[in-house]
Amino acid sequence: MDTSSHDVLLVGGGGAGLRAAIAVAETNPKLRIAVISKVYPMRSHTVAAEGGAAGVAKADDSLDEHCYDTISGGDWLCDQDAVEAFVREAPQELLRLEHWGCPWSREPDGHIAVRAFGGMKKKRTWFAADKTGFHILHTLFQTTLKYNEIHRYDEWFVTKVLVDDGRVQGVVAIELMSGRIQAITAKAVIICTGGCGRVFPYTTNAAIKTGDGMALVYRAGGPLKDMEFVQYHPTGLPFTGILITEAARAEGGYLINKDGYRYLQDYNLGKPEPKPVLRCMELGPRDRLSQAFVKEFEKGRTIDGPYGPIVHLDLRHLGTKLINQKLPFVRELCLKYEGLDPVKQLIPVRPVVHYMMGGISTDIDGATPLRGLFAAGECACVSINGANRLGSNSLPEILVFGARAGKVAAEYASGVPDTVSLPILRQAEDERRRLEQEFLRKTGGKERVATIREAMQKAVEDGAGIYRTERSLREAEAKLAELQERAQGLSIDDHSRTFNTELLSALELTCMLDIATTMVHSALSRTESRGAHQRTDYPARDDANFLAHSVVTRSPDGSPHIEYTPVVITRWPPGERVYGQQPTLTAAKA
Amino acid sequence: MAQTIQLKVSRYSPERDTEPYFQTYEVPVKEEWVILDALNYIKDKIDGTLTFRWSCRMGICGSCGYMVNNEPKLGCATFLTQYASGPITIEPLKNFPIVRDLVIEISDFLEKLKKVKPWLIHHGGGGSNEYLQTPDQLEEFRQHSMCINCLLCYAACPISGLDPVFIGPAALALAHRYNKDSRDQGSAERMAVLSHPEGIWGCTFVGECTRVCPKHVDPAGAIQQYKLAGAIDGIKQFLMPWGQRQENR
């Protein structure tokens, strides 16, 4: 079997992976670095982030305030040591992007401009119009091109993480172009594969967001943390799930129900003012806004659309000039995909799955409990996002923790001998055989990939959506178990070695089924409501029992096993989440 | 409106076929469906072997460029209803080798991209402050920074079809984007690459690249401005004393 070897291997070429690759190169230029991605790096889903990246930048702001907003936004489930490091390093990372050429929007005097964002008490969100993720990704990708030591495996799909005696030593991957299956060994592996929104039917996430990295680590015996916390973004377009950025509300957009009423005033989010008020109304956190939508639906005050109930986002009062300058992509998306002009018309929106707060459990440096294995970005859970991520914290997260993981992985790899154990090569050979037998040469299955995928998406949305109950979760659990069974009998039309995307879809489906199962089990086990995890049968937050991270690992029989670890509290003792009025900053002095 | 529409899709498998051929599929027409929805319908319900790239389906990842009725288009941004009763012909982007069905080989583009040094060149470290840049200075290059590398411009460009060494619209527009960035000091380095005949002078200003660009990057305009800058540079070099001319090479 073909084998290639590197010192540090990045799995995933989005913002976190590319930032980590540069960090490795700058920590030790002698290391042989490789980035492996199932798509060309500039196709990665970082590209779709719109609104901006938070980092304290102006004189009226402070690191403590960004910490407090993040921690209260996360309903006190964030690890506060991680949040403090994140908030401290975010502005430095955003500045580094500036030095690498990111076209940040500017003030008239040439300084970086910042905008308001949901759940943030100060304006601290850097932005490149409303294509911030696009510009960050392309800036990073173009910058990596000057590092000759960064080798790329474009359009390779990783199918297994190789681990022997608790030490990760590489991966097995398939090259889409040729169908070649190969072991790629490395002293350190950093997983940066992003989220898993495609587990759900309506999502802002691209087709590639299938939770592969999380599933690979879970199968390799690594822990996943806080998997029950899934973020719904309150403003997605109804059929496509296309994201209409929170910046649309930060710039002054209103959310209105079928009566034209700004309904958020009924949900403890403050009073409607003509101009946006920080941490109020439309600038409340995403979990609260998505939950308010469900309540409006129950009251019969949403509008029926062909793809379910919707409300309206009203930007008409903002005027053509502001929309063109600050929200050009929103206008472009509405014109192209909905055939409407937000300058003159209301935008139909609904909550759609957007972000995974949970993920591969790491420490503050991106290290997992498996030696040699690191993770950063949305696939990881450090945790800075707790039970609900604030908008514009995820872009600085990929930079801060991508850089941290890259640095620490480089240091680790510099001290590990360049040998691969024999069991690793045997595992790789076994994996090649499995792929051949179960997928490439398999004939006679009866179920189409799409059939199982759609059934899974429905089961997870019905059972583990914005509101959950014991009963809904048990139904989802049973359905997923049935689908896992049926997925053994997948039919694959395509047996070609050349760019076999049906094989890819089948492999992605198995990842999503594993991830969905961990989500549902973690949600069943957490009998409280906190942030994005709302149990109607346990409506209150329960700090006595659940001020803790859920950690799910795979039992030898394949079933998920759940334990809890305490949340790290440094200076912000658990308090009430207050929006719509001036909150009191309760940090103890450092 | 018709209930269904025919899609004539170009098929090619290097393991089986000597050349591409068309296969016709019948798919439902819905008002909100784009080309990509129809392709996914085929993939999911009819024929799992149909092969194409796609990802974000919101016009920003650049994966889903195809020839639609012989015009380069993004599959995610092209509605079925534009084509009345059909049939709609879908082929891989022109001017690229075909890997399989609608998937093209783009590694040559990636090489060209790297060649133009598409990164900010600034002598002296960044320090702890931002490089100041006014909104007007940002505006100078903003539009050229919008390229999503979808390669529709290469499929439309007659020179790219004829001359494989021509660097091509998207990569040249990106070089121009950095040259026009007030923070950048690398235009001389880039000019050294691009003044080679294959770099930039091949463009005969047909303007097809700008016409098909879904992000209004205006590569044709960028190339013309670049040529002008190159010409002025060339004249400057000629007027300089011999010693300095040597250094500038």
CB A95 to CB B128 under 8 A?
yes
- Average pLDDT of every residue of chain B: 90
State yes or no: is A354 an active-site residue: no
Whether the pLDDT of residue A553 is over 80: the answer is yes
What distance in Å separates the CA atoms of residue A379 and residue A370, rounded to the nearest whole number? 16
Residue with tokens 């509101």: A467
> Which residue among A99, A206, A333 places its CB closest to the CB of B131?
A99
Per-residue pLDDT band for B202 (boundaries 50, 70, 90) equals confident
Q: Which of A507-511, B220-224, B234-238 has the highest mean pLDDT?
A: A507-511
Q: Is the omega angle on the peptide bond into residue A383 within 30 degrees of 0, that is, cis?
A: yes
Q: Does B30 touch chain A (CB under 8 A)?
A: no
Per-residue pLDDT band for B243 (boundaries 50, 70, 90) equals very low
Q: Please, what is the angle between helix A15-27 and helix A394-414, to 10°?
A: 40
Whether the pLDDT of residue B242 is over 50: the answer is no
Residue to test with chain B: of A336, A495, A509, most B Cβ within 10 A: A336
Mean pLDDT value across residues B219-228: 88
Whether the pLDDT of residue A321 is over 90: the answer is yes
What distance in Å separates the CA atoms of residue A169 and residue A428, rounded to the nearest whole number? 11
pLDDT of B234: 60
Look at B245 and A376; give whichever has higher pLDDT.
A376
Residues A245-288 have pLDDT tens digits of 999 999 999 999 999 999 999 999 999 999 999 999 999 999 99
Q: Does A147 touch chain B (CB under 8 A)?
A: no
pLDDT of B235: 58
Q: Is the omega angle on the peptide bond into residue A108 within 30 degrees of 0, that is, cis?
A: no
Lowest-pLDDT choice from A145-149, A192-196, A414-418, B143-147: A414-418
Per-residue pLDDT band for A11 (boundaries 50, 70, 90) equals very high
Per-residue pLDDT band for A443 (boundaries 50, 70, 90) equals confident
Residue B181's closest chain A neighbor by CA? A101
pLDDT of A85: 98
Catalytic residue among A6, A124, A152, A249: A249
Residues A222-246 have pLDDT tens digits of 999 999 999 999 999 999 999 999 9
Q: State which amino acid sits at residue B70.
A: N
| Beta-strand pair A359-361/A380-381 | parallel
CB B138 to CB A243 under 8 A?
no
Mean pLDDT value across residues A150-155: 98
| Beta-strand pair A308-314/A254-256 | antiparallel
Question: Are A584 and A256 within 8 A, CB to CB?
Answer: no
CB B58 to CB A145 under 8 A?
no
| Beta-strand pair A156-164/A150-154 | unpaired
What distance in Å separates the CA atoms of residue A506 and residue B173, rounded to the nearest whole number? 39
pLDDT of B236: 58
Whether the pLDDT of residue B132 is over 80: the answer is yes
Lowest-pLDDT choice from A340-349, A464-473, B174-183, B195-204: B195-204
Q: Does A570 touch chain B (CB under 8 A)?
A: no
- Residues 229-288 of chain A with CB under 8 A from chain B are 239-240, 242-243
Residue to test with chain B: of A138, A501, A507, most B Cβ within 10 A: A501
| High-pLDDT (> 70) share of chain A, % | 98
Written as one string, the DSSP assignment of A330-371 is HHHHIIIIIS--TTTSPEEEEEEEEEES-EEE--TTSB-SSB
With helix as H, strand as E and coil as C, how does B187-248 read? HHHHHHHHCCHHHHHCCCCCCHHHHHCCCCCCHHHHHHHHHHHHHHHHHHHHHCCHHHHHHH
Sign of CA dihedral A38, A40, A41, A42: negative
Q: Does A442 touch chain B (CB under 8 A)?
A: no
pLDDT of B79: 96
What distance in Å separates the CA atoms of residue A360 and residue A212, rounded to the nearest whole number? 11
Grouping H, G, I as helix, E, B as strand and the rest as coil, residue B53 is coil
Whether the pLDDT of residue B240 is over 70: the answer is no
Whether the pLDDT of residue B89 is over 60: the answer is yes
**Stretch (H or E) spanning A132:** helix A132-144
From chain B, pick out residues whose CB is under 8 angstroms from the CB of A243. 58
Domains in chain B, ordered, with CATH?
4-104 (3.10.20.30), 107-248 (1.10.1060.10)
pLDDT of B239: 54
Nearest alpha carbon to residue B112 among B193, B229, B215: B193
What distance in Å separates the CA atoms of residue A499 and residue B11, rounded to the nearest whole number? 13
Phi, psi of A233 (to 5 degrees): -85, 130
> Which residue among B117, B122, B133 places its CB closest to the CB of A110?
B133
pLDDT of A587: 52
> Which residue among B119, B130, B178 places its CB closest to the CB of A112?
B130
* A83-A211-A286 Cα angle (round to 5): 50
Whether the pLDDT of residue B125 is over 80: the answer is no
pLDDT of B247: 41
Mean pLDDT value across residues A324-332: 95
Mean pLDDT value across residues B152-164: 92
CB A498 to CB B99 under 8 A?
yes
Question: Are A154 and A41 within 8 A, CB to CB?
Answer: yes
State yes or no: is A521 an active-site residue: no
Catalytic residue among A198, A233, A530, A541: A233
Residue to test with chain A: of B98, B122, B145, most A Cβ within 10 A: B145
Q: Does A332 touch chain B (CB under 8 A)?
A: yes
Residues A21-67 have pLDDT tens digits of 999 999 999 999 999 999 999 999 999 999 999 999 999 999 999 99
- Residues 93-112 of chain A with CB under 8 A from chain B are 95-96, 98-101, 103-112
pLDDT of B248: 38
pLDDT of B198: 67
Residues A177-204 have pLDDT tens digits of 999 999 999 999 999 999 999 999 999 9
Whether the pLDDT of residue B116 is over 90: the answer is yes
Q: Does B61 touch chain A (CB under 8 A)?
A: yes
Inter-CA distances, B105 with A403, B61, B174, Å: 32, 17, 20
What distance in Å separates the CA atoms of residue B152 and residue A24, rounded to the nearest whole number? 34
- Average pLDDT of every residue of chain A: 96
CB–CB contacts below 8 A, A to B: 157
pTM: 0.96
pLDDT of A420: 86
From chain A, pick out residues whose CB is under 8 angstroms from the CB of B142. 103
Give the number of other CB atoms < 10 A from CB of residue A128. Answer: 23
CB B61 to CB A47 under 8 A?
yes
Phi, psi of A86 (to 5 degrees): -60, -50
Per-residue pLDDT band for B195 (boundaries 50, 70, 90) equals low
> Which residue among B107, B134, B146 places its CB closest to the CB of A106?
B134
Q: What is the ipTM of this complex?
A: 0.95
pLDDT of B249: 35
Residues contacting A350, CB < 8 A, separation 6+: A202, A236, A238, A293, A305, A307, A308, A309, A310, A311
Nearest alpha carbon to residue A395 among A208, A191, A106, A139: A139
